[in-house]
Amino acid sequence: MTAHSSPVWLISGCSTGFGRELAQQTIARGFKVVVTARDTSSIADLVEGHDNALAVALDVTHQASIDQAVKAALDRFGTIDVLVNNAGYGYQSSVEEGVESEIRAQFDANVFGLFALTRAVLPAMRKARSGHVINITSVAGLIGFASSGYYSASKHAVEGWSDSLALEAGPLGIRVTCVEPGPFRTDWAGRSLHQTPSTLPDYAETAAARMKATAEYSGTQKGDPARAATAMIAITEHDNPPRHLVMGAWGHDAVTSKLKERLAEIEAWKQTSVETDFPE
């Protein structure tokens, strides 16, 4: 995004974590920023004294709230150059013990809410023939982990959807990037995390063990949200921004190792794959 010296950003989920850091840094740079959260009192301090920032209530699980937030952004600033889909949260359980209401609530926030907010913003980007959609997914959007089956599924869904969006919107001048953080020092593993404890002994060494480890490392993760926010701003100013941006050394190593392993397996079974075609 180099078309504007003061681009307009709309960021979902700004009360904590990546969203809050992005809001602080973009406002400080003089960008025009629409800062959102379900409760605007949690973000009032971010916009206080800044004419280039607007605090708007946004619950991505309600279409009316999405429509009102996008309208407020366009009424105030005229367009939206960068959309950051950051709202969402983690849910952990074993696959077998997942609670239906928790699973559906996770998908409403992490998947369907993200889809709906993007759909609402795309008309302004199409009109401008310019824009950048940043979807904050996770390393779990590329790798499954024990206890994170439903969270991982929500992030895998966004990754696949983003591939399609990039193909459709790319020719219109709209860039799409998925940001895939590994462990970062946000509230994800703390107060924001939903868990359904595993009580089945068969999952003690897998799902239950990982849930325990997640709770124990909260607050000590190597990833720095402020540095991540700086990196996200930088890619919007790049002539050729990445389609994927893995965050953190642990995340980079885990993703590249998994992709190499997957490719090796696919190649090892190539003959079986090609033999499923009709004979020539």
Compute the distance between CA of residue 77 and CA of residue 84 in angstroms, rounded to an integer: 16
- CB 73 within 8 Å of CB 55: no
Residue whose pair of structure tokens reads 């998925």 in the numeric block: 178
151 is catalytic: yes
**If we measure between CA atoms, which residue out of 91, 103, 194, 100 comes closest to residue 145?**
91
Buried-state track 21-45, b at ≥16 Cβ within 10 A, e below 16: bbbbbbbeeebbbbbbbbebeebee
Compute the distance between CA of residue 120 and CA of residue 200 in angstroms, rounded to an integer: 43
Structure tokens at 32: 């025009």
Cα-flanking dihedrals φ and ψ of residue 107, to 5°? Answer: -70, -35
Cα-flanking dihedrals φ and ψ of residue 236, to 5°? Answer: -70, -15
Amino acid at 20: R
The SS3 of residue 233 is helix
Cβ count within 10 A of residue 240: 7
The single residue of 89, 91, 150, 151 carrying the catalytic annotation is: 151
Q: Is 49 left (phi over 0), alpha (psi -120 to 50) or beta?
A: left
Catalytic residues: 151
